[in-house]
Structure 1
Amino acid sequence: MTNRHIIIPARYNSSRLHGKLMLDLEGKPVIAHTIEVAKKLASSVHVATDHEEILECALEHGANAIMTSDKHQSGTDRLAEAVAKLSLPKQDLVINLQGDEPLISPRLLTQAADLLERYPEAGIATLKQPILNAEELMNPNIVKIAMGENSSVIYFSRAPIPYNRDEMSSSISSMPSGEYYRHIGLYVYRVETLLNISEMKEHHLEATEKLEQLRPLANGVRIVAEDALEVPHHGIDTEEDLFRLRKKLQF
């Protein structure tokens, strides 16, 4: 089995919930809970951050900590800098674990890594789940995936894809026939792919959709996806998310 490393990109500033990774969750910072999940899955756990407080917290909770630039526009770019500093072998796998997902299932991380192992010609693996109602399908905040053969991703979009010409309109109230999937933003990369992505210029599709995964896809990187084995927990983006998570952990 190829070596697997978990890297947690941990930017301090968040547009919707400032400093969320260091907010208290059951007596520990959010990022500390995420590190605990990662350590259940891999011995090689790294936190790539731009802030001294997160760096110290990561070290205190048993992760390797890497200081990265505060200029990165995406978590992928932060991962690439961390990978370069670690000098990881090009064929090793990097599991991208978001710092604000302390309840992520290790089973899903393993599933995505196993998927990439099965497709040696692919550079990235991710997960998806079926869309079952029209409200989700038409919601631009839910990213959709169009799939091809052999688990290959054809496109990611905020629009409802594929578009059913005979059944769809801008105000559909019921699901059209066909298969529709939402993207689960969990990624596993080959080290070589990550390093290559960091050298790619922003693609116009990425800029239009505001989806960074379109950069490698538009540049010919094969991305594979399959249905998640379980429904993932939502990450922490707002005060309401944090409140719900605190309530959940009390039971």
Structure 2
Amino acid sequence: MNFTLIIPARYGSTRFPGKPLASIAGKPMIQHVYERASLAKGLANIVVATDDERIRAVVEGFGGKVVMTNPDAATGTDRINEAIAKLGLPDDEIIINLQGDQPLVDPISIEQLIALFKKHPGEFEMATLAYQITNSKDIDDPMQVKVVFDNQHHALYFSRSRIPFGRDTRDYPVYKHIGMYAYTSRFIQEFATLPHGNLEQLEKLEQLRALEHGHKIKIAISAFNSQEVDTPEDVKKCEARLAVD
């Protein structure tokens, strides 16, 4: 069972143009992501999938691997699907999709996804992470996606709203979805052909497409939150975290 980690990195972010190249503590963000992923055990390969020559130059400059993809790719998953074809990866290759805006990702979280596929071969073709929210402000923040799951840790739903909603209490755990995925190469190719779902379009959450079409998503509970970078202000938060670490 081989594991390839692919980092989709698009230059043209609406809220933060050039985000993968934003400097965080003296290094471009994409380098932080790549180097932290490199610390995870069990990966056969790490590749950045990008549409921009500037990103390519930076990644190759620090010794990383790059595959160029179509700038018109609608989503990061579409970019990964194209990268899989260009890399010639087999259908049973396990692909880990690590977003290029997670410069503080913990390598253990990546290893958790690897362990899920090794422990439950053939049970599912897609997996992701959840983290129990400790900051109460995050629970009702629509930028923090929440997830609920069944007793076997299969996802039931993802939402930007508080889920579950306690009618009579607020004293219960709420889980944030950590936007890192693992799936078979075969599943990604199938996923790319599925029609967009109604729930997906309402919530603007791509992973709901899998649930709407009846596919299982296995959840691992991570002990580590991940600071995504969506705005320039988030860069300062990352730098503050790095200074403490």
Tell me the TM-score normalized by structure 2. 0.90
The one of 104, 113, 125 aligned to 1:123: 125
Task: Confirm or deny: 8 A CA contact 1:116 1:224 kept in the other structure.
Answer: no
Counterpart of 2:36 in structure 1 is: 37
Aligned-residue Cα RMSD (Å) equals 2.0
Query: What is the alpha-carbon distance in structure 1 between the residues aligned to residue 111 and residue 205 of structure 2?
Result: 24
Query: What is the alpha-carbon distance in structure 2 between the residues aligned to residue 146 and residue 86 of structure 1?
Result: 34
**How far is 1:134 from its partner?**
5.7
Counterpart of 1:238 in structure 2 is: 231
**How far is 1:102 from its partner?**
1.9
Counterpart of 1:19 in structure 2 is: 18
**How far is 1:210 from its partner?**
0.6
- Do the aligned partners of residues 134 and 65 (structure 1) sit closer, same or farther apart at CA in structure 2, a change above 3 Å counting? closer
Report which stretch shifted further, 51-60 or 36-45.
36-45
The structure with the larger Rg is: 1
Q: Deviations over 1:38-81 (max 9, x none)?
A: 22233411110010011122222222211111112211111111
**How far is 1:211 from its partner?**
0.3
The one of 161, 168, 178 aligned to 1:184: 178
Counterpart of 2:217 in structure 1 is: 223
Query: What is the alpha-carbon distance in structure 1 between the residues aligned to residue 237 and residue 161 of structure 2?
Result: 29
Structure 2 SS opposite 1:9: strand
Task: Confirm or deny: 8 A CA contact 1:35 1:61 kept in the other structure.
Answer: no
Counterpart of 1:171 in structure 2 is: none
Q: Deviations over 1:214-242 (max 9, x none)?
A: 111211221010211x2223022211111
Q: Which amino acid aligns with 1:146?
A: V
The answer for unaligned runs of 5 or more in structure 2 is none
Instruction: Spell out the pairing of 1:169-208 with structure 2 (5 A cutoff).
Output: 175-176=170-171, 178-208=172-202
**How far is 1:149 from its partner?**
2.8
Query: What is the alpha-carbon distance in structure 2 between the residues aligned to residue 19 and residue 202 of structure 1?
Result: 28
Aligned length: 241
Query: What is the alpha-carbon distance in structure 1 between the residues aligned to residue 24 and residue 173 of structure 2?
Result: 38
- Do the aligned partners of residues 14 and 134 (structure 1) sit closer, same or farther apart at CA in structure 2, a change above 3 Å counting? same
**How far is 1:183 from its partner?**
1.2
Query: What is the alpha-carbon distance in structure 1 between the residues aligned to residue 177 and residue 24 of structure 2?
Result: 27
Q: What percent of counterpart residues are identical?
A: 36
**How far is 1:179 from its partner?**
4.6
Q: Which amino acid aligns with 2:107?
A: P
Counterpart of 1:211 in structure 2 is: 205
Q: Which amino acid aligns with 2:46?
A: V
Q: Which amino acid aligns with 1:98?
A: Q
- Do the aligned partners of residues 130 and 103 (structure 1) sit closer, same or farther apart at CA in structure 2, a change above 3 Å counting? closer
**How far is 1:133 from its partner?**
6.7
- Do the aligned partners of residues 245 and 162 (structure 1) sit closer, same or farther apart at CA in structure 2, a change above 3 Å counting? closer
Query: What is the alpha-carbon distance in structure 1 between the residues aligned to residue 159 and residue 131 of structure 2?
Result: 15
Query: What is the alpha-carbon distance in structure 2 between the residues aligned to residue 103 and residue 131 of structure 1?
Result: 17
**How far is 1:246 from its partner?**
2.8
Counterpart of 2:89 in structure 1 is: 88
Query: What is the alpha-carbon distance in structure 1 between the residues aligned to residue 212 and residue 118 of structure 2?
Result: 22
**Correspondence 1:76 to 2:77:** yes
Task: Confirm or deny: 8 A CA contact 2:131 2:225 kept in the other structure.
Answer: no
- Do the aligned partners of residues 158 and 244 (structure 1) sit closer, same or farther apart at CA in structure 2, a change above 3 Å counting? closer
**How far is 1:29 from its partner?**
1.6
Task: Confirm or deny: 8 A CA contact 1:9 1:78 kept in the other structure.
Answer: yes
The answer for unaligned runs of 5 or more in structure 1 is 168-173
